[in-house]
Amino acid sequence: MLAALPVAEPDPLWALINAFRQDRRADKIDLVVGVYRDASGQTPVMQAVQEAEANLASAAVSKSYRALSGNLAFNDGMSRLLLGEGAEALDRQCTIQTVGGTGALRILADFIAFASPQATIWNTNPGYVNHRPIMTAAGLNVRTFRWQENEAGLDLDAVVADLREARAGDVVLLHGCCHNPTGIDPAPEQWRRLAMLCKDKGLIPLIDMAYQGFGDGTEADAAGLRHFAGQIDTVLVAASCSKNMGLYCERTGAAMVIAPDRDMLANIRATLERITRANYSMPPEHGAAIAAHLFESPEMWLSELETSRRRVAEIRHGLAEALVRCSAPEKFQALRRQKGMFSLLPLDQRQMSRLREDFGVYGTANGRINIAGLLPRDIERLAEALRVVSCAPPLVYAARATA
């Protein structure tokens, strides 16, 4: 068996991370790893999380098994965070706890494969690097539609043109906010047009809410999802607590199915639990218990999250200003209007390689950088590196690379 095992290609993201760790330059810059970092370069544990953990430890609640759907208080809190207090869709949704946002995506992929195996998943191009592998691992067909900018923001005409080939029952995978990797989010009117497109064509939206709170705030970031939930009978949602609560290694997430009416919910829950039972049985409790505490008294948590959001926005603004000061090409100013932790630099693979080799700046081969990984002291140096790399004649660098 093992002798016949196909050779697996190493994950390119983790290969870059390993290369960064082995780089001995003291001024190297890591913009690869997709985690939030504070001004000191650390990924902090929120004070609200620390207090919740202390309360859990003192309560010493039993470690016995929980329900297949996970922590029910967590599920209730997540549904309200996503849909809003008093939302009509709360009465026709089923939410279960999952093993992170990735687990939510896989559970929903298996749910789609079970309920509608002929459905095609329409994924943004460029898109989150793990979306396609998750969907294809569940046996689903994946096609793409363009997700790019024009002078005004998202080029919605390109989206609409590409989705003309989508058929009723197909699934459109959208990022609820802070698109990864581009940082390009729809404007409110564009969210409404996207919802109308899905409704008119009978498409089912699957909305990935990995970064709620990191764009314009927890309420504003959910506006697109909430509009879809109010306009479309069936909506799928994957959500994560990794970024907005800093619970990365706790693997805390949720999968939600919004149905046309509540009479379907019992069967939906039974189906989701059947999928999780055959996968990991039930999700880990600790992160969900922390989140449930935060939902009970959210003031400190939301204040800390807002501080993190503002830091990312300030880093974006600071980098855009530094690029102006060093006379970098105007195309980099798209960074200013994009949202969230990530952006896609207008550089090719050769230029990204030069950033890494000559300046110690690590981003992915397709140009994705983690804005939240940039320290204030490195902004000017990064801006100058981007200017040099973007302005260097291709043939000059090609000659250097082969010398």
Q: What is the pLDDT of residue 9?
A: 82
| Mean pLDDT value across residues 349-368 | 95
User: pLDDT digits over 213-235, tens only?
Assistant: 999 999 999 999 999 999 999 99
pLDDT of residue 394: 57
The CATH topology of domain 65-296 is Aspartate Aminotransferase; domain 2 (3.40.640)
Q: How confident is residue 300, by pLDDT bands cut at 50, 70 and 90?
A: very high
Q: Domain 12-44+301-402 has what CATH class?
A: alpha beta
Mean pLDDT score of the chain, rounded to an integer? 95
| pLDDT band at 397; cut points 50, 70, 90 | very low
β-pairing, 153-154 with 252-258?
unpaired
How many angstroms separate the CA atoms of 295 and 318, rounded? 33
What residues does CATH 3.40.640.10 cover in the chain?
A: 65-296
pTM above 0.85, yes or no: yes
- Residues of the chain within CATH 3.90.1150.10 domain(s) are 12-44+301-402
List residues bridging with 257 in a β-sheet.
94, 236
At 8 the pLDDT is 86
Nearest to 171 by CA among 146, 202, 132: 202
Rounded to an integer, what distance in angstroms lies between the CA atom of residue 116 and that of residue 257?
A: 14
- 60-84 b/e with 16+ CB inside 10 Å = b? eeeeeebebbbbeebbebbbebbbb
Query: Could you give the CA distance from residue 32 to residue 20 in angstroms, rounded to a whole number?
Result: 9
* Higher-pLDDT residue of 400, 31: 31
Average pLDDT over residues 83-93: 97
Residue 391 buriedness (CB in 10 A; 0-12 / 13-18 / 19+): exposed
Is 399 a residue whose pLDDT tops 50? Answer: no
Q: What is the pLDDT at residue 79?
A: 98
Question: With the CA atoms of 78, 280, 124 and 375 taken in that order, what torsion angle do they form, in degrees rounded to the nearest 10?
Answer: 70
Give residue-wise pLDDT tens across range 259-272.
999 999 999 999 99
* 121 against 39, higher pLDDT: 121
